[in-house]
């Protein structure tokens, strides 16, 4: 099976050579993260600095976990990302279904509206979002420094992406299957439930994972709305270890960024072809 094709081999070498600079630049931060994270602290600040540590100090990770309250931030990140994903997907599934299945008045308008929501990035609205959170009474005080405010904001800002991705996938699910279910006396809603949704699960899963990653990586909204250490998510918690400080424990910071980044990167690497396909499908329409 593995008969090496000469011309393909030559082409492969050329392709890799051309890509090499980009590959180096992409992998560079990962190397920096890893090698700094495992360096003993006294080796991080020596001049001239070296790439490789003399010993691999894995205990950096456990030290960092304690020192940076990583566990709390991790829990907050998971909670906010999962909840906002559920919210975004829940409101986007019916909308995506409508976009994929019904011709209706105002469809173009709705699509344009989604486009506009993409254009108004959270950072432009952050002043207003903060006021909104401060205005709504919740429990003892208001919604500032409450996870729910971040969750609802993420949910809203991810609708456009979720609807776009899912409706382009939904459109590839043959309509005949549902229609034949109607002929057998199945109501429209039941047909959706019994026939359509099971087929749509992969598309929903992929979209949900990317929505999750978006929420996991977001910075500006959570940076503005969340104030107390107990409620901070990973992006903010780790930024606070760096921003406006004179002494930064870089080995701990790198250990933290690595732990916060790696699981998501692996997930993403595994699923990126679906994203390529989904966006392409959406673009063609």
Interface with another protein in residues 133-172 (CB under 8 A): 134, 152-153, 155-157, 159-160, 163
Q: Does 246 bind another protein (CB under 8 A)?
A: no
Nearer to another protein, 49 or 177 (CB): 49
Nearer to another protein, 75 or 131 (CB): 131
Please answer whether residues 38 and 54 qualify as being in contact, where contact means their C-beta atoms are separated by less than 8 angstroms: no
Nearer to another protein, 98 or 199 (CB): 98
Non-local (6+) Cβ contacts of 96 within 8 A are: 162, 163, 165, 166, 167, 170
For residue 120, the minimal CB distance to another protein (Å) is 6
Q: What is the C-alpha to C-alpha distance for residues 86 and 92, in angstroms, rounded to an integer?
A: 10
Q: What is the C-alpha to C-alpha distance for residues 25 and 31, in angstroms, rounded to an integer?
A: 10
Q: What is the C-alpha to C-alpha distance for residues 134 and 144, in angstroms, rounded to an integer?
A: 6
CA dist list (Å): 33 to 24, 39, 51, 54, 114: 14, 10, 11, 16, 37
Q: Given candidates 1, 183, 201, 283, which one binds another protein under the rule CB under 8 A?
A: 283
Site string for another protein, 187-226 (x = CB under 8 A): -x------------------------x--xxxxx---x--
Q: Does 38 bind another protein (CB under 8 A)?
A: no
Q: Does 23 bind another protein (CB under 8 A)?
A: yes
Q: Does 174 bind another protein (CB under 8 A)?
A: no
At residue 200's C-alpha, the angle toward residues 151 and 269, to 5°, is 65
Q: Does 102 bind another protein (CB under 8 A)?
A: yes
For residue 228, the minimal CB distance to another protein (Å) is 16
For residue 216, the minimal CB distance to another protein (Å) is 7
DSSP secondary structure letter of residue 192? I
Nearer to another protein, 1 or 283 (CB): 283
Q: Does 94 bind another protein (CB under 8 A)?
A: yes
Report which of 212, 195, 270, 185 is spatially closest to residue 86, judged by C-alpha positions: 212
Q: What is the C-alpha to C-alpha distance for residues 113 and 160, in angstroms, rounded to an integer?
A: 9
């Amino acid at each position: 099976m593995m008969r090496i094709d000469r011309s393909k081999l030559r082409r492969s070498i050329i392709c890799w050579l051309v890509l090499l600079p980009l590959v180096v630049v992409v992998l560079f931060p990962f190397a920096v993260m890893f090698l700094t994270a495992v360096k003993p602290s006294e080796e991080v600040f020596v001049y001239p600095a070296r790439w490789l540590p003399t010993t691999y100090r894995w205990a950096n990770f456990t030290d960092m976990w304690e020192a940076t309250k990583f566990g709390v931030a991790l829990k907050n990140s998971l909670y906010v990302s999962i909840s906002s994903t559920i919210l975004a997907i829940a409101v986007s599934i019916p909308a995506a279904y409508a976009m994929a299945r019904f011709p209706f008045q105002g469809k173009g308008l709705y699509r344009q509206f989604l486009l506009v929501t993409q254009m108004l990035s959270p950072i432009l609205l952050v002043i207003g979002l903060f006021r909104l959170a401060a205005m709504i009474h919740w429990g003892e005080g208001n919604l500032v420094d409450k996870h729910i405010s971040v969750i609802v904001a993420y949910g809203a800002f991810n609708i456009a992406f979720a609807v776009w991705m899912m409706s382009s996938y939904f459109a590839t699910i043959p309509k005949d299957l549902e229609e034949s279910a109607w002929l057998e006396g199945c109501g429209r809603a039941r047909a959706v439930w019994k026939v359509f949704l099971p087929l749509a699960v992969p598309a929903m899963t992929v979209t949900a994972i990317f929505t999750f990653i978006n929420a996991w990586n977001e910075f500006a909204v959570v940076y503005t709305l969340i104030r107390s250490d107990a409620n901070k998510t990973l992006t903010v918690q780790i930024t606070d270890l760096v921003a406006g400080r004179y002494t930064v424990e870089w080995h701990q910071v790198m250990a933290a960024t690595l732990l916060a980044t790696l699981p998501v990167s692996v997930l993403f690497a595994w699923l990126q072809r679906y994203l390529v396909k989904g966006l392409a499908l959406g673009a063609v329409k």
